[in-house]
Amino acid sequence: MTPTTAPAEARTPGTAQKVAVLGAGKIGEALLSGMIRAGWAPADLLVTARRPERAAELHERHGVEAVSNAHAAKAADTLILAVKPQDMGALLDELAPHTAADRLVISAAAGIPTAFFEERLAEGTAVVRVMPNTPVLVDEGMSVISAGRHADESHLARTEAIFQPVGKTLRVPEKHQDAATALSGSGPAYFYYLVEAMTDAGILLGLPRAQAHDLIVQSAIGAAVMLRDSGEHPVRLREAVTSPAGTTINAIRELENHGVRAALIAALEAARDRSRELASGA
């Protein structure tokens, strides 16, 4: 399965569909801004927020009408639910009386299975589960998509029309969503953490913080582009940096001595386990 990027013609939303983002916090607003960059008319979008000040802020920033959850459920064909997993039950209680079965419901919440929505919404409602990540803000997101019981190809295509303009998408069976959440949903945080730690190392080695930051960030960008574009395996790319009796191998030995590889495997396993726990509202 290779992640896909939208063909040019799919990047321009061609339908008169109305899409509502319910619970526009960090990820909801990132998606909203991405849809506008991709050419969605603000008039075809709706947004909901818990606090009136937040609703006003979203309206001011994006020119999108802020409405109640009930209004969004009635007026929009596609509802993107972007509240915290722990708030999803309450949101669905609010939406259920107003949501017709022909709505497409897209959940961006970690952990919550499509069955959770199907049980609480009108019989036959199409639900798609998506795990995006924050680089949707710069159109470099990774959004992992799974169909619920009543979601067909057209629902998946409508979902991809929303998420492909802000990055890549990948369809997976829903059983892999917790793993995807651990890898790409949370993934950006691990890279930020590494940059933070490596910048500290630069300071230890005597560089000013700003310079250390720039050296590490540009190395990260260069490495990421090579990983994406060179077609080479990461091991080959690392070997090309690692000269015999050189500097890099000394660093790699320390990473191995400190169990960094095992720590990463354990960390992602812990994230996967937490995603599973969220399914029970924990």
Binding residues for ligand A1CAB, rule CB under 6 A, total 4
Closer residue to ligand NAI (CB): 113 or 202: 113
Partner from ligand NAI, ligand A1CAB, none contacting 87, C-beta within 5 to 8 A by type? ligand NAI
Q: Which of residues 69-128 bind ligand A1CAB (CB under 6 A)?
A: 110
Question: Can you tell me which of 38, 58, 66, 83 binds ligand NAI, judged by CB under 6 A?
Answer: 83
User: Per CB under 6 A, does 85 bind ligand NAI?
Assistant: yes
**Nearest residue relative to ligand NAI (C-beta):** 25
Q: Is 167 in the site for ligand A1CAB (CB under 6 A)?
A: no
Those residues whose C-beta lies under 8 Å from the C-beta of residue 84, and which sit 6 or more positions away, are 23, 25, 109
How far, in Å, CA of 249 to CA of 255, rounded? 10
H runs (alpha helix) in 145-186: 153-163, 177-180
Both tokens of residue 56? 């006003």
Residue 202 within binding range of ligand A1CAB, rule CB under 6 A: no
The partner residues of 27 in beta bridges, in order of sequence, read none
DSSP 4: B
Strands (E), the chain: 19-22, 45-48, 65-66, 78-81, 104-107, 126-131, 141-147, 167-171
Is 235 labelled as part of a ligand binding site? Answer: no
Q: Is 126 in the site for ligand NAI (CB under 6 A)?
A: no
Nearest distance, CB of residue 186 and ligand A1CAB, angstroms: 5
Here's the x/- map for ligand NAI, 32-71, by CB under 6 A: it reads as ----------------xxx------------------x--
* C-alpha 168 chain-centroid distance: 10
C-beta of residue 42 within 8 angstroms of C-beta of residue 63:
yes
Binding-site positions: 69, 82-85
